[in-house]
Amino acid sequence: MFDWFQLAKEKENSMIQVRRYLHQYPELSFEEYHTRDYILNQLSQLSCEVRSPVGRNGIVATFTGHGDGPTIALRADFDALPIDELTDLDYKSKNPGAMHACGHDGHTAILLAVAEIIEAHQNALNGNVVLIFQYGEEIMPGGSQEMIDDGCLQNVDRIYGNHLWSGYPTGTIYSRPGAMMASPDEFNVTIHGRGGHGAKPHETIDPVVIMAEFIMSAQKIVSRTIDPVKQAVISFGMVQAGSADNIIPDSAFCKGTVRTFDTEIQAHVMNKMDKLLQGLAVANDITYDLDYIKGYLPVHNNPTCYEIVKQATNDMNLRFNESELMMIGEDFSHYQKVRPGAFFLTGCGDPEKNTTYPHHSPYFNLDEKAMKYTASQFLKILELENVISQPTT
């Protein structure tokens, strides 16, 4: 009988080595050329069929089985963030302005280990395994749609993905049926008024005051026009205007994010923001520009695939928990638009190892012990999907 956890544990040291190498040489979204070449070199030592580039910079590795089982895809991302790392790790980033502050280095190390384990047990493959190494997850439009357009899901029946998560304890697995992660939209608003001297505001049309009114009124879109049992968030992350204390500027600018799980709520927020600006324009004789950019689709887990994730966790004697709804975004959702699939989180937070900093923090790190749990979980999912068989006795 295959002991997936033991097989994954035997790869733990190599996963750590791969992850630490990638951590030292992070590359930003859509610029991951060295990372791509490193992954290709690792895969070249295996007998899988490799195709690259898929989309702009992606890799697809396929193991073909000998039976009539399904074709199951597993996905990992490999881009980094524009952050200067502030940890004191021996393997901290050597690339200024770039850091693996979200765990994508770990995701890649895990999928390479899974590839090596499948390679060693190809005679047990009933179906096919497609390993998707994806670039550009951190920046919209994301790499997943480009890879889908280039055929990465051709003949794939279902797809599974994972994210190491510092907010949960090491070794725990989290997922949920249906909606799990939100659509992360962006918006930019410029209000055009008429500038002048701060001592004579009556001779101006002050865009700063009007922008303040817009920001305050926008909060009522969620609190007073959306059903309280449904979820939406409007947050302003940047406001810019003016150059001196005694000058009323000609314009004011802001940008922010909207997070929703429902396309109707998303459309409602867009419409209300535009109507609010129309009203301010009429009342104050200003003009405005609204640039609303729809983000990734919400991550929405197929119920059957979710149950397989849950069963795999229980069969591996790991701790399964139902995830809370999360307002973060993930372009894994684009795969789920095309094929049934499920996304799950593996806890990698350990206070004693200082690995509980939030994702995207310059102090982020992960408990590397968590990688073997995800690797064994992926392998168990393949078994439950009848892609790989346990030996008969």
* Residue 107 buriedness (CB in 10 A; 0-12 / 13-18 / 19+): buried
Residue listed under structure tokens 């390479």: 112
**260 neighbors 232 (Cβ within 8 angstroms):** yes
- Distance, in Å, from the CA atom of 295 to the CA atom of 45, rounded to the nearest integer, reads 37
100: annotated binding-site residue? no
Q: Say whether 273 sits in a helix, a strand or coil.
A: helix
Helix (H) / strand (E) containing 299: strand 299-301
254: annotated binding-site residue? no
66: annotated binding-site residue? no
**143 neighbors 135 (Cβ within 8 angstroms):** yes
197: annotated binding-site residue? no
Max CA distance (Å), the chain: 90
Catalytically active residues are 79, 137
Find, among 38, 115, 46, 44, the residue nearest to 75 by Cα: 115
**160 neighbors 154 (Cβ within 8 angstroms):** no
Residue listed under structure tokens 């399904």: 70
Report the interhelical angle of 12-24 vs 370-384 (nearest 10°): 120
360: annotated binding-site residue? yes
Binding residues: 102, 104, 138, 163, 360
Output the known binding site for Mn(2+). 102, 104, 138, 163, 360
